[in-house]
Amino acid sequence: MSYQLAADMLERRGVTLASIAEIVYILQSAYYSDLTHEECLASVKAVLGKREVQYTLMTGVALDELAEQGVLPQPLQAVMEADESLYGADETLALGITGVYGMIGLTGFGYLDKIKLGIIGKLNDQEGRIHVFLDDLVAGIAAAASARIAHRHEGARVYPHHTGTE
């Protein structure tokens, strides 16, 4: 599927693909010295081209937008306005994005969700805006794009094949 639908949703919420690619670059350039911003952007687009990512993203963004409009049923509306720290549906939903290139993405996700790097941190500072889901979803997208880069750069290593019957 085209990544454009997801890109439009993100842009509507103030997140450019370049700002996610920048996070990926910061995370991964420490490991791969020849990594380019173009490759990071391409990796973000590849993640956003996956249907399950798009469905997850549209679900979280809808919840953020409806909370901003104040139309969610109570007590969910109040929980989201308070950005309640014990609310875990955002982490749960982001899990559906984080893992699309394997569970190695979990580490990057948690790290980004904690330190709020780049655009993820900016989302948390916007007054009047509710980004309960979006910051986790962006962290998940960046983590998945990072995992994809790791898979591609490490791709050549070969381990001894099992031949015996031990």
Residues that bind a second copy (CB under 8 A): 1, 5, 8-9, 12, 50-52, 55-56, 58-59, 61-63, 65-66, 69, 71-76, 78-79, 82, 84-89, 91-93, 95-96, 99-104, 106-115, 143, 150-151, 154-155, 157, 159-166
Minimum distance from CB of 103 to a second copy (Å)? 4
Q: Which of 5, 11, 37 is nearest to 119 (CA)?
A: 11
Which token pair is 7? Answer: 């890109």
Rounded-to-integer distance, Cα 144 and Cα 28, Å: 12
Q: Exposed e or buried b for every residue in 111-148, given b needs 16+ CB within 10 A?
A: ebbeeebbbbeebeeeeeebbbbbbbbbbbbbbbbbbb
Minimum distance from CB of 80 to a second copy (Å)? 9
Rounded-to-integer distance, Cα 39 and Cα 27, Å: 13
Minimum distance from CB of 118 to a second copy (Å)? 16
- Hey, how many other C-beta atoms are within 10 angstroms of the C-beta on 88? 10
Q: Please identify, using beta-carbon distances, which residue of 44 and 53 lies nearer to a second copy.
A: 53
Minimum distance from CB of 62 to a second copy (Å)? 5
